[in-house]
Amino acid sequence: MKNSKGGKRGSVSSGFFQNSQMIIVAGFLLLVFSPVLSCAQESQGRVRGSLPQTEISSPPAGTPLFLAQKSSAEKALFSHPAIQEGEPCVSAKCHAERGTASYVHTPVAQGSCVSCHDLTASKARFGLKKPDLDLCLSCHEDQKAFYKQEVIHPPVKTDCISCHNPHESPYKFQLESGPSSARLCFTCHDEEDKMEYTYLHGPVESEDCLACHNPHASSYKHLVRQGPQEIQLCESCHQEIPKKIENSAHKHGVINKGLCSPCHAFHGSNLTKHWTRRFPDKFYNPYDPKLYSLCFQCHEKRQAFLSRSTTLTNFRNGKRNLHYLHVTRKKGRTCIACHGVHATNQERLIRSSTPFGPSHFHIRIVFVKTPTGGTCTLSCHVAKGYDREKPLKLQADTKPTIKWKKPK
């Protein structure tokens, strides 16, 4: 009896031990595979939820093979609920918000969603019949001409929906942002870089980027509308300048090169007239080297502070620098007192008249160039001449009233 009892007790203990091992093994397998199964289930749920919008080409890492095969079959197709023949896409039942904006894409307005979308099983994103760009160009064939131009706006190379809403928008041309063109441009371009100035260029101030730039493509740098020279774009608005230049015999060097940007900033500046550097706007001004920094980016700055020279300038009487004589004084004559900034009919860009006094009364200037100098006659005094080889006695041999040290 004892042996039989002991044997029974031994078999019970052995069974309990085997069951314990099985429980431990099962628990271990559950611990190992439960995160994988959970991940697969979550991934499968996400895929089902996103089917109408996005196709996912590969299963998440760690998904078991049988789950990956099942989810791949489901993910490969864009699915849309079945609709009855003739049933509109835009109704109280579905897509009720479409077609209510101020500007509606024609297919949407006509209820022709199938023009762009394939409502049957499709592998394409949103069930589109063609890739984004190809789909737009299948109707807007005239826009294909953009791709033949030299400079193409980067979004145009990839799709149209970066800037245009494919269904509708409160803004003209179904733009994604508005109401001005600048509001859309500033979603990519830095607004502060264009709008932070004290004096803004007119189109910038009115947030009209399209006045100067083509939003799609251009034959010219920076997508500008006119070219190839800068001045051709500027002249499209500033029409008084080309008339003056055309009727003038002598042009400023930068004008001959078709440039405006060395002197004027296109978007804006903290200086009047959008100067790129400081420039004197007055007839008289005490001499300050910084005041002429716009001119000195091209012209030799020593002309203004060296009283004598034989090489710096041709405007000299013998060795006496006459620029120094005019400029370096408390009541110094500025550049615009004698010179035109764009073009003139007299040599050395000498103006035919110059404004003087608070009323801007125009003083007539007559300049005659000679082989070794010249004469200048103003309506307010007699002719004065200079000669580089045989110095003339100046009628008003005035010395500068202030002294200036050479800038460091």
Distance, C-alpha 163 to centroid of its chain = 14
H helical segments located in 169-285? 181-185, 191-195, 202-205, 230-235, 240-246, 253-256
Neighbour order of strands in the sheet with 373-378: 353-356, 361-370, 373-378, 381-387
Query: Where are the domains positioned within the chain?
Result: 103-174, 191-269, 277-387
User: In degrees, to the nearest 5, what angle opens at C-alpha 111 toward C-alphas 108 and 114?
Assistant: 85
Backbone angles phi, psi at 13, to 5 degrees: -65, -40
What whole-number distance in Å separates Cα of residue 257 and Cα of residue 272?
24
Interval 130-162: pLDDT, tens: 888 899 999 999 989 999 999 999 999 988 999
Nearest to 87 by CA among 126, 114, 122: 114
What whole-number distance in Å separates Cα of residue 223 and Cα of residue 285?
40
| Banded pLDDT at 40 (limits 50, 70, 90) | very low
Q: Which residues contact 187 (CB under 8 A, 6 or more apart)?
A: 176, 177
Q: Which residues contact 297 (CB under 8 A, 6 or more apart)?
A: 262, 277
For the ranges 250-264, 288-302, 391-405, the lowest mean pLDDT is seen at 391-405
Nearest to 152 by CA among 227, 231, 223: 223
H helical segments located in 302-362? 322-327, 335-338
What whole-number distance in Å separates Cα of residue 184 and Cα of residue 216?
13
Interval 264-299: pLDDT, tens: 999 999 999 999 999 988 888 888 888 899 999 999
Average pLDDT score over residue span 158-172: 92
Average pLDDT score over residue span 371-399: 82
| Banded pLDDT at 90 (limits 50, 70, 90) | confident
Task: Identify the H or E element spanning 365.
Answer: strand 361-370
Say if residues 329 and 401 touch (Cβ distance below 8 Å). yes
- The yes-or-no verdict on residue 119 having pLDDT over 60 is yes
Residue with tokens 């400023």: 252
DSSP 148: G
What whole-number distance in Å separates Cα of residue 383 and Cα of residue 376?
5
Nearest to 262 by CA among 282, 288, 286, 234: 234
Nearest to 136 by CA among 152, 109, 155, 116: 116
What's residue 329's pLDDT? 83
Q: Which two tokens stand for residue 47?
A: 């895929």
- The yes-or-no verdict on residue 10 having pLDDT over 60 is no
- The yes-or-no verdict on residue 252 having pLDDT over 70 is yes
Sign, CA torsion 325/331/335/337: negative
Say if residues 328 and 400 touch (Cβ distance below 8 Å). yes
What's residue 57's pLDDT? 36
Cis peptide before 228 (omega within 30 of 0): yes
Say if residues 216 and 209 touch (Cβ distance below 8 Å). no
Interval 195-210: pLDDT, tens: 889 999 999 999 999 9
What whole-number distance in Å separates Cα of residue 253 and Cα of residue 298?
10
Interval 176-229: pLDDT, tens: 999 999 999 999 998 888 888 999 999 999 999 999 999 999 999 999 999 999
What whole-number distance in Å separates Cα of residue 32 and Cα of residue 30?
5
Nearest to 304 by CA among 271, 339, 334: 334
Interval 359-380: pLDDT, tens: 878 889 999 999 999 999 887 7
